[in-house]
Structure 1
Amino acid sequence: MEFDKLNEYFQIAIDKAVFYLPRIIAAGFILWIGFKIVRKLVQLISTALKKTGFSETLRPFLSSTASIILKGTVLFVIASVLGADLTGLVAILAAAGFAVGMALQGSLGNFASGILILTLKPYKIGDWIQVEDKFGRVEEIGIFSTDVLTPGNKILIIPNSKVTDSVVTNYSEKGMIRLELEVTMPYEESFPKVQQIISSALQGVPKILESPRPEIGILNFDSHNIQLIVRPYVLPDDFWEVTFTANKAIKRAFNKSNIAVAYSEGIEIGSIGE
């Protein structure tokens, strides 16, 4: 009786081996060939991305993503060859993907925005940009955020979704930027005279570009004085240095030319110190 059972089990094992052995061999062959093909395809994708000008930050990520997707496809094919029921697995993966997507909704938005930034390239590393009221030089462009170095030597980590949802000012796009310096003059003073004084002062400020020429004009009129706007052009990296130097030069020129100013706490005209 026991011999008959053993014989029955042995026969079942042989039947299973005959049924699964060819599938196991086929699965192993598919795994070997499939992964070799995936490796070649990933190399081709990486080369194509490099030729089309994708950024160095985005290329490794896209190549890795393509590799994971292709290898996953090979494993699904192998599971199908082995006779596994993929319906339940697909449902579980879909539910898990939905749950992860809901949990990481903000991060996924930053991720999608990072892909757009790295693809469309509205700015690059080294550019001076302004996002809302945040101003600085781009230090790093990542998948989820952009690192910006402020003139105060602080690193701002700006989520990429903020960049794509806001107006971005790229000061480096044209190779130069225009300063916006506000200066006041009293009503009784001659504007052409003050304009010439400011123009002469700017000529002594290094790093102000000769072309385009600085613009000097009347901005508006308030209760105490006339607001002037002074707009010299500089290279992006010289923004703050020229701002401070130009303001200092204008103040010194006003002092030497005895240009009076009106103080906001009264209407009395007072002198200006050096």
Structure 2
Amino acid sequence: MEQAQTRLELFYSQVLAFATLYGGKVLLAIITLLVGLWVIGWISKLLTSTMTRRHVDRDVQPFLLSLVNGLLRVLLLLSIASTLGVQTTSFVAIIGAAGLAVGLALQGSLANFAGGILILIFKPFRVGDLISAQGFTGNVEAIRIFDTTLVTLDNKTIILPNGSLSTSALTNISTKGVIRVDQVYGVGSQNDLDATKASIQKVVNACPYALKDRQHDVLIAKLNPNSREYDVRVWTKSENFWDTHYYMLENIARQFGKDGIEAPKPKMFITNEA
């Protein structure tokens, strides 16, 4: 009986010593945990409202939110461990080394990820836009975190990495809603100048995709010994770019045939040498 009482007193004394030594730290750690969770929640709400206000893509918002939450919770855990007297230097070193290793292993993927975030935030193009980039031209079908998908005119699917797409030059054909289709046509110099311009103008006037409120141009661009080149500039809606391009090519060829506009004729010069 006395032995049990002695053990009980020893236990109480150890608990009291532990409470005296660590009680303040544990209480401070609990307060830090509660305040930290509240701050993380407040930052999450602020970030959500900011992304909504700036029209950040809805598919990206949960990912960014979870990423920020994860980083903040790691910092909170390190802060609590430091409050309890745990040496966090080794943990920080391990986390840094792991982050460096992962970063080196996924260097290309991280560049594509960062590029995807920039594209989704700043929106140099949107889904449905007609763009020309990396030597390809097509409509944007999807913008994902790591890559962007284009569908070309011949219905091929092109997948472009966001890293290079966000840092290189690209042409967004759809941005302004209106675009000019520029073409060059060569005819023989034996054709009457006014008759040639009138023949081209007929096709421009008949083009169903040409905007009626814009001035379209038929200009002489170059004079060659046996030919003339005409710049033809037709304004149209961005989504009708290719329709206008091919309409003009086909129908100008037909109109030239009807009006007797001939192609350049090659000339051969023969000299007699003594």
Which secondary structure does the structure 2 equivalent of 1:54 belong to? coil
Residue in 2 aligned with 1:104?
106
Matches within 5 A, 1:51-66: 51-66=53-68
C-alpha separation between the residues in 2 aligned to 1:176 and 1:23? 67
For residue 153 of structure 1, report the CA deviation from its aligned partner: 1.9
Rate the CA distance shift 1:196–1:9 in 2: closer, same or farther, 3 A.
Answer: farther
Which secondary structure does the structure 2 equivalent of 1:212 belong to? coil
1:250 to 252, 256, 260: 252
Residue in 2 aligned with 1:201?
203
Residue in 1 aligned with 2:272?
none
1:185 to 161, 176, 187: 187
Contact 1:80 1:86 (8 Å CA) reproduced: yes
Matches within 5 A, 1:252-267: 252-262=254-264
Runs of 5+ consecutive residues of structure 1 not aligned to the other structure: 269-274
Contact 1:202 1:249 (8 Å CA) reproduced: no
Residue in 1 aligned with 2:15?
14
* Number of residue equivalences: 263
Partner amino acid for 1:78? I
Contact 1:114 1:145 (8 Å CA) reproduced: yes
- Report the more deviating stretch, 23-32 or 130-139: 23-32
2:93 to 73, 91, 108: 91
C-alpha separation between the residues in 1 aligned to 2:145 and 2:139? 18
Identity of aligned residues (%): 31
C-alpha separation between the residues in 2 aligned to 1:206 and 1:24? 78
Over aligned residues, Cα RMSD in angstroms? 3.0
C-alpha separation between the residues in 2 aligned to 1:145 and 1:221? 46
Q: TM-score, normalised by structure 1?
A: 0.82
1:1-58 Cα offsets, whole Å, 9 max, x none, are: xx79x95984785367534566445544543443243223201211022223434344
Rate the CA distance shift 1:56–1:219 in 2: closer, same or farther, 3 A.
Answer: farther
Partner amino acid for 1:129? I
C-alpha separation between the residues in 2 aligned to 1:79 and 1:144? 36
Q: Is 2:34 the counterpart of 1:37? A: no
Matches within 5 A, 1:105-120: 105-120=107-122
1:69-88 Cα offsets, whole Å, 9 max, x none, are: 22222211222233221010
C-alpha separation between the residues in 2 aligned to 1:208 and 1:123? 24
Residue in 1 aligned with 2:159?
157
Contact 2:133 2:169 (8 Å CA) reproduced: yes
Residue in 1 aligned with 2:142?
140
Which secondary structure does the structure 2 equivalent of 1:179 belong to? strand
Rate the CA distance shift 1:246–1:12 in 2: closer, same or farther, 3 A.
Answer: farther
C-alpha separation between the residues in 2 aligned to 1:95 and 1:74? 19
Contact 1:49 1:59 (8 Å CA) reproduced: yes
- Report the more deviating stretch, 51-60 or 87-96: 51-60
Q: TM-score, normalised by structure 2?
A: 0.82
For residue 89 of structure 1, report the CA deviation from its aligned partner: 0.5
Rate the CA distance shift 1:225–1:236 in 2: closer, same or farther, 3 A.
Answer: same
Which secondary structure does the structure 2 equivalent of 1:261 belong to? coil
Rate the CA distance shift 1:241–1:10 in 2: closer, same or farther, 3 A.
Answer: same
Rate the CA distance shift 1:9–1:177 in 2: closer, same or farther, 3 A.
Answer: farther
For residue 68 of structure 1, report the CA deviation from its aligned partner: 1.5
Which secondary structure does the structure 2 equivalent of 1:232 belong to? strand
C-alpha separation between the residues in 2 aligned to 1:181 and 1:23? 78
